[in-house]
Chain A
């Protein structure tokens, strides 16, 4: 084992610091609470407004104690004769899940080749992957649009699947090679000496160590795909519209629709919020491409 960096096992944020600490005032704890409340306030307000009637939602000063109702949600789900959000929610789910799966299928072998059995001078490949993330998406958009138009792929969810895969693949390769680098080569070599074949080694040695990392990667890819707007806006229309594109219908404000907007925003953000809260500790690892633990 030559020059691999040693990383310290992550300490969860809940565990305190070792060593004595001088207790210093409740003041800073209060400040932290205050900051948390300030940052969360818009979301809390959005949630509250979504349960108000449109009349109560649009008042100044704001009405906190108004009667609660599900009208905003009924309106959002198309009770008032508006467009149903279901097709767009299903499209988003398909595009995010399938592209995440594709990303994992492509990134795992690549990350394996870059970390466990790296070829000389192929670190450049890693940086090639990263560099694709730095090129502005918008610059390649026109040819993609023209290509889609001429091949009849416009308004087709599978085109988005391909694009979301390309959007997330570099992130996934970086994250996974960082997770796979943690697998000690000695273990793999020992297994080889014992006569284990590659599939066995992958399943019994590499997978258990790398699984949390793979889960984190999948989560990040899902979030980025679910959130994506530019591709979806330009390349989809009626059939393959995704949830963020559905939300753009609320940009121009006409009449009273605040509760409906809040209900829509909340419902469409719910999968990401749930996934992110469930995997808080993995979030930072994923967002920093596996660089920070």
Chain B
């Protein structure tokens, strides 16, 4: 075990019992796990099974007597539904745009904050603030206080420089939602990447500089490879949350103007259209999509962990 490894990404430890003496003992060690495990299975897995069952029925909650088994009928309807296909595309676009933009901005801010300057702690606090505004409140702030075409702050500031007075939400609805989310998620990315920067091997960097490496070379060949895992982690965690975003879409555009993402569409189809069967089928498809993404993501995470375990 070398004491010089800097492994900031923790691995689940792989210490195991030396000799499990008997089954009883093994279960005694597992017992503390069971309450959490059983709770999770009951509250998160059972509803999904129920969703799966409901998805094979033609069921509108306004006409509860007209419930009938329809096989894959809901699925064909959902898959041929233009609105739903569009919402799949919207979800992908929204997630990719927000994650990438926040990562790039977050990286820039982290690099700035990695340097010593007067008032660094204050600046860090200012930058974290957007992440600590309740998402609904942040969405309201953007919708009414910043974007409003007549008296919003954005157009107010543009007014000073004689710029145009766009109607942000009507002209560029998806961009409006994305901007508010990027504002919220950039601090999150910054925090993760800043932690990554501060775990670099500074002696190595100094040595490279002594050898005449330029700042760009140091960044390109030392910093960026070191940050890779942090970038991956930020992208993964950000994606998990942003794919499921409901608050911003619901608040800023109410899913209108082509901004309805999958969570909003599923919510709408049972909450407003009362189409339980269709909503469930859409939900199942969302789950299948998520599983595909999650498998890939989990592989990334577990490879990170394995790397750690292997290094120690």
Binding site for B on A (CB under 8 A): 1-8, 10-11, 13-14, 16-21, 26, 28-29, 31-33, 35-37, 39-43, 45-46, 49, 57-62, 106-107, 109-110, 112-115, 117-120, 122-123, 125-147, 162-163, 165-166, 169-170, 173, 177-178, 181, 185, 223, 226-227, 229-230, 233-234, 243-244, 247-248, 250-251, 253, 258, 261-262, 264-266, 268-269, 272-273, 275-277, 280, 283-284, 287-293
Contact = CB atoms under 8 A, between A and B. Distances in A.
Contact of A166 (B31, B43, B254): B43
B104 to A, nearest CB: 13
B212 interface: no
Contacts of B235: none
Given A29-B118, A106-B39, A114-B12, A130 B301 contact: yes
A187 B156 CA distance: 62
Contacts of B191: 283-284, 287
Contacts of A169: 36, 39-40
19 contacts: A32-B112, A32-B120, A42-B130, A49-B145, A58-B150, A59-B151, A109-B32, A113-B31, A130-B298, A134-B290, A138-B244, A138-B263, A139-B51, A144-B47, A166-B44, A229-B136, A229-B250, A261-B144, A284-B192
Given A36-B126, A135-B290, A113 B145 contact: no
A118 B15 CA distance: 6
Contact of B133 (A7, A43, A140): A43
A118 B134 contact: no
The 10 closest A-B pairs by CB, nearest first: A29-B117, A109-B32, A140-B47, A143-B50, A139-B283, A265-B137, A36-B126, A134-B294, A166-B43, A110-B36
Interface in B6-43: 6-17, 20, 26, 29-33, 35-37, 39-40, 43
Contacts, number: 397
Interface in B142-181: 142-146, 148, 150-153, 155-157, 159-160
B203 interface: yes
Given A39-B183, A143-B46, 4 more contacts: A5-B5, A32-B115, A117-B17, A277-B125
B78 to A, nearest CB: 13
B293 interface: yes
Contacts of B246: 138, 229-230
Residue of B117, B135, B187, B280 with most partner-chain A CB within 10 A: B117
B139 to A, nearest CB: 9
